[in-house]
Structure formats: C-alpha cells, structure tokens
C-alpha cells in the first residue's frame, strides 16, 4: 500500500510540474540569420538571389545530420526570401515576422556563427558576387532566455542585426 501511495504522489508531482512548467518559446533551439540585399539607395530587396551559408574558405556548407539547422537535413544551407501568408480573411503578414522582404535562414542556437560567411550570387549575372563574414550580432535570438544570456556577455551588444548587403552592378 505504501508503494502505491508513493507512486501516486510521485506521478501527481510529475503531472503538476508538466502542466505548471514554463511555456516554451516558438523559436526554442533556433535562431535566424537575416540578409538585407539591395541596391544603394533602394529600400526593397532584389528578388531571386542565390544566398548560401559558406565556410571561411568560401565552400558551401551542408547541414550534415541536422548539425547546423533543424530543417533541410544533408542539404546545403540556402536562404529563403521572406514571403507573406494569409492569416485571416483580410489579414496578411510576413512568414518571418521580424523581417519584410529580406532573406532568412533558420539555424541552431549552438552554431559558431563566426566560422561562417554569407555568399550572395545573382543567377542573372547583373550583380557582383559578394561574400560577407558573420558575427554573433547577426543571429536573431528570439527566445528570452537565449537573448538574456547574450545580453549578459561582456561589452555593449545590439542583438538581431541584419546582414546588410549593398549590391554592386557588374
């Protein structure tokens, strides 16, 4: 009988802790890299660019075994241009709400971002290919615990900065 009571108490404690636990953020375990690629003095981003994550040698990065991102296993890490979705009859919003027509990539929070760069190519050949180094400031850390942890690191930081790219015509 004592064992049954002990099991019931243990089970109820576990159940209550699951219900009353802190809710998870919708962006747990992930961060975003956002690229703002446009011409000088033009606000809108150029469409149909091929933007990829590359290593420090300029080689395309493959998401082996989902080690860098929770999506697109074993594929190159390629940015997607943000798009609008219909959420209600007369309401449209951006898919990634922290950007407008910019390009974005979902990565794990544990990525060593300084070991990577962004390569911007124009398949139409209108713009010069550019490779831009990344820093921790370029990670959109959206869950409060990760953002708070970053804010406590040494020195002034402004998190969630887009990678700003001014495209140059050939």
Determine the pLDDT at residue 87.
Answer: 87
30 Cβ neighbours under 8 A, 6+ residues apart: 69, 70, 106, 107, 108, 109, 142
The upper half-sphere exposure of residue 15, i.e. CA atoms within 13 Å in the direction of its Cβ, equals 6
Look-up: residue for tokens 């009988």? 1
Residue of 47, 49, 36, 54 whose CA lies nearest to 166: 36
Determine the pLDDT at residue 97.
Answer: 85
Segment 56-78 shows an average pLDDT of 94
- Residue 16: is its pLDDT beyond 90? no
Give residue 60's pLDDT band: very low, low, confident or very high (50, 70, 90). Answer: very high
Segment 87-113 shows an average pLDDT of 90
> Percentage of residues in the chain with pLDDT exceeding 70?
74
Element (H, E) at 92: strand 91-94
Question: Mind listing the pLDDT tens digit for each residue in 116-145?
Answer: 999 999 988 999 999 999 998 898 877 755
Total Cβ atoms within 10 A of residue 107: 23
């Amino acid at each position: 009988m004592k064992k049954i009571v002990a099991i019931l108490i243990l089970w109820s404690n576990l159940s209550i802790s699951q219900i009353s636990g802190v809710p998870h953020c919708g962006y747990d375990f992930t961060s975003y890299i956002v690229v703002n690629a446009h011409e000088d003095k033009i606000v809108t981003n150029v469409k149909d660019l091929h933007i990829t994550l590359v290593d420090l040698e300029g080689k395309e990065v493959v998401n082996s075994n989902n080690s860098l991102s929770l999506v697109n296993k074993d594929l190159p890490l390629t940015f997607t241009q943000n798009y609008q979705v219909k959420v209600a009859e007369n309401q449209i919003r951006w898919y990634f709400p922290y950007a407008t027509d910019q390009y974005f990539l979902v990565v794990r929070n544990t990525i060593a971002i300084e070991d990577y760069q962004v390569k911007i190519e124009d398949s139409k050949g209108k713009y010069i290919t550019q490779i831009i180094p990344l820093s921790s400031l370029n990670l959109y850390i959206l869950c409060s615990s990760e953002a708070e942890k970053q804010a406590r690191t040494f020195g002034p930081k402004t998190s969630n900065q887009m990678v700003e790219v001014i495209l140059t015509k050939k």
